[in-house]
C-alpha cells in the first residue's frame, strides 16, 4: 500500500459569529490578516515536510477558492514551493481544469513541475466543487463538457508533438506546442478524486486512472469501489489495488480516549464549520446530472449542509481515530474488504494544534505504516 499525507491549509482566525451559514464565497476577506497568514503558511509547509521526513510515500495539495476551508488557490504554486523540500511524490489533487480559461497553462505548469522534480508529480484533475462556480461566475451546466475537453487537450499536448491546432467547443487554439514536456512518459500518473459521481467513476475507469474516494461513509465507499471495479471490467481489464484510493481524516494518540478527546472537536470543526455552505451553493443548478442529483437527494450524509456529530460520523466510518493499535487494525480490516492500494490520510483537520499533528503523524509512521506496506502484495510461497 502507498500512503500519502494530505493538508487543506485552513484559515482559523475567523470568529464563529462572522460565519453565518457559509464559510465559502461570500465570507468577507476583510477578516483575513496577511501577517497571521504568513505564519500559517510557514507552519503548514513545515507540516507537509514532516510527512516526508517520517516516511510517507508522498504528500498532496489541492485547490479551493474564496473560503477559509483551504488556503491553496493554486496547487501548482504550492507544489512549486514544496518540490525542493519534499523527497517523495507530490500529488496535485487537483487542478480544477473546468475552471481554467486556458488548459494549456495547466499542461505547461504540471510539465514544468514534473521536470524540475525529476518525475515526482502525480496529476489530479477535478471539476471543482459547486461553490467554485459561484466564485468564478462560470456556468455550471457546461462544467462537465469543459472538464472532458480540457482533459483531452492536456493529454494530447503531452503526448503528440506540436505544433498542431485545436478547435473544440470551449477551447480554440491556433498553435498547441507546449514547452517543457513532462519528465515522466507519456505523462505523470493521473488520479481522479470524487465523492462517487457515476460519470466520474466511469471516466476514471475508461482511462485506467486511479480513482480516489473522499469524505464518505463506509457503505458509500463499498458501493462506489464496486462500481469502479465493474466499470474497469466493462473496459476490458481488472482494476489494480493502486487504482483504488481512499482519502480520509486520521488521528492517532496513545489511547483511544486521548485520540477522541483531541480529535472530536477538530473533526466537528471540519465538517460543521469549514465545509459549511447552503445546498444551492454546494450544488448549483446544472452542476449535477439528473442521475447524480438523485444520488445526492437519496443520500443522508448532509455534509456541509447540516450539523454532524463526532460519534455518528465515527460509526459511519468517515474517519479513523484511536490508538495506533486501533487505527492499524481498522485499516487492516477495511483493506481486507475493500482492497484499496492507495491511502490518502488527512492528519491535519479542523484547527488541530501543530504538536498534536506531529505526534499523530509520528505514531502512525512508527506503529501503523510498517503494517500497511505489505497489504495487497502477492504472497510468495516458501521454497522447501
pLDDT at position 301 is 55
| Average pLDDT value for residue range 332-347 | 96
Q: pLDDT tens, 133-180?
A: 999 999 999 999 999 999 999 999 999 999 999 999 999 999 999 999
As a whole number, mean pLDDT of residues 106-126 equals 98
What is the pLDDT confidence band of residue 16, given thresholds at 50, 70 and 90? confident
Helix, strand, coil tally for the chain in percent (to 5): 45, 15, 35
Over residues 216-235, mean pLDDT? 96
Give residue 379's pLDDT.
38
DSSP code for 141? G
pLDDT in tens, 354-379: 999 999 999 999 999 999 999 976 43
Per the CB < 8 A criterion, the answer to whether 41 and 71 are in contact is yes
The residue among 73, 114, 112 whose CA lies nearest residue 90 is 114
Could you give all domains of the chain from N- to C-terminal order, each with its CATH number?
A: 2-372 (3.20.20.30)
Of residues 291 and 19, more confidently modeled: 19
Q: Average the pLDDT over 284-307 and give the result.
A: 66
For the residues of 312-335, what is the DSSP string, one character each?
A: HHHHHTS-EEEEHHHHHHHHHHHH
| 380: pLDDT strictly greater than 50 | no
Confidence of residue 298 (pLDDT cuts 50, 70, 90): low
Helix (H, G, I), strand (E, B) or coil at 167: strand
- Is residue 85 over pLDDT 80? yes
24-28, 46-50, 278-282: which is most confident: 46-50
Give pLDDT, residue 287: 86
Percent of the chain beyond pLDDT 90?
Answer: 85
**187, 123 in Cβ contact below 8 A?**
yes
* 25/28 Cα distance (integer angstroms): 8
Count of CB atoms situated within 10 Å of the CB of 1: 19
- Cβ–Cβ < 8 Å for 46, 25: no
Is residue 45 predicted with pLDDT exceeding 90?
yes
- Over residues 101-111, the mean pLDDT reads 96
For 186, how many CA atoms within 13 A lie in the half-sphere containing its CB? 8
Instruction: With cut-offs at 50, 70 and 90, classify the pLDDT of residue 286.
Output: confident
What count of other Cβ atoms lies within 10 Å of the Cβ of residue 307? 10
Rounded mean pLDDT, 268-287: 90
The pLDDT value recorded for residue 296 is 54
Q: How far is it, in rounded angstroms, from Cα 233 to Cα 255?
A: 42
**What average pLDDT does the segment 270-280 reach?**
91
Predicted model pTM: 0.93
Please give the average per-residue pLDDT across 111-123, as a whole number.
98
| Strand spans (E) along 168-306 | 172-176, 190-194, 210-214, 244-253
List, in sequence order, every residue forming a beta bridge with 214; answer none if it has no partner.
247
Coil, helix or strand at residue 245: strand
C-alpha cell at 196: 462517487
Task: Output b/e per residue, 251-278; b: 16+ Cβ within 10 A.
Answer: bbbeeeebbbebbbebbbbbbbbbbbbe
Is 292's pLDDT higher than 80?
no
Please report the DSSP string for 173-193 in residue order: EEEE--SS--SSSS---EEEE
Q: Cell numbers 481489464 label which residue? A: 237
Quick one: pLDDT at residue 293?
A: 56
Specify the pLDDT at position 297. Answer: 52
Amino acid at each position: 500500500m502507498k500512503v500519502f499525507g494530505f493538508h487543506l491549509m485552513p484559515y482559523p482566525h475567523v470568529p464563529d459569529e462572522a460565519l453565518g451559514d457559509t464559510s465559502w464565497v461570500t465570507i468577507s476577506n476583510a477578516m483575513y490578516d496577511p501577517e497571521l497568514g504568513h505564519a500559517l503558511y510557514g507552519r503548514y509547509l513545515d507540516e507537509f515536510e514532516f510527512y516526508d521526513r517520517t516516511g510517507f510515500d508522498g504528500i498532496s495539495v489541492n485547490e479551493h477558492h474564496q473560503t477559509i476551508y483551504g488556503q491553496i488557490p493554486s496547487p501548482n504554486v504550492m507544489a512549486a514551493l514544496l518540490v525542493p523540500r519534499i523527497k517523495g511524490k507530490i500529488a496535485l489533487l487537483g487542478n480544477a481544469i473546468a475552471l481554467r480559461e486556458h488548459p494549456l497553462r495547466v499542461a505547461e505548469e504540471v510539465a514544468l513541475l514534473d521536470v524540475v522534480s525529476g518525475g515526482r508529480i502525480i496529476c489530479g484533475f477535478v471539476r471543482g466543487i459547486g461553490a467554485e462556480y459561484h466564485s468564478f461566475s462560470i456556468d455550471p451546466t457546461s462544467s462537465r463538457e469543459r472538464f472532458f475537453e480540457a482533459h483531452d487537450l492536456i493529454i494530447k499536448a503531452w503526448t503528440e508533438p506540436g505544433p498542431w491546432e485545436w478547435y473544440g467547443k470551449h477551447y480554440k487554439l491556433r498553435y498547441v506546442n507546449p514547452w517543457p514536456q513532462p519528465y515522466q512518459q507519456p505523462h505523470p500518473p493521473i488520479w481522479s478524486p470524487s465523492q462517487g459521481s457515476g460519470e466520474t467513476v466511469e471516466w476514471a475507469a475508461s482511462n485506467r486512472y486511479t480513482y480516489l474516494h473522499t469524505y464518505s461513509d463506509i457503505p458509500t465507499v463499498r458501493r462506489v469501489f464496486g462500481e469502479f471495479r465493474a466499470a474497469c471490467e466493462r473496459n476490458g481489464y481488472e482494476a489494480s489495488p493502486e487504482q483504488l484510493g481512499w482519502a480520509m481524516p486520521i488521528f492517532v494518540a496513545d489511547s483511544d480516549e486521548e485520540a477522541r478527546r483531541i480529535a472530536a472537536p477538530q473533526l466537528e470543526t471540519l465538517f460543521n464549520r469549514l465545509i459549511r455552505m447552503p445546498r444551492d451553493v454546494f450544488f448549483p443548478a446544472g452542476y449535477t446530472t439528473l442521475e447524480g442529483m438523485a444520488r445526492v437527494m437519496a443520500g443522508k450524509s448532509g455534509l456541509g449542509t447540516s450539523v454532524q456529530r463526532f460519534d455518528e460520523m465515527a460509526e459511519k466510518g468517515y474517519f479513523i481515530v484511536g490508538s495506533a493499535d486501533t487505527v492499524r487494525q481498522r485499516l487492516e480490516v477495511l483493506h481486507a474488504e475493500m482492497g484499496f492500494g492507495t491511502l490518502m490520510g488527512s492528519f491535519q483537520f479542523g484547527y488541530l494544534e501543530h504538536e498534536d499533528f506531529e505526534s499523530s503523524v509520528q505514531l502512525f509512521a512508527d506503529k501503523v505504516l510498517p503494517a500497511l506496506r505489505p497489504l495487497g502484495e502477492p504472497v510468495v510461497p516458501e521454497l522447501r
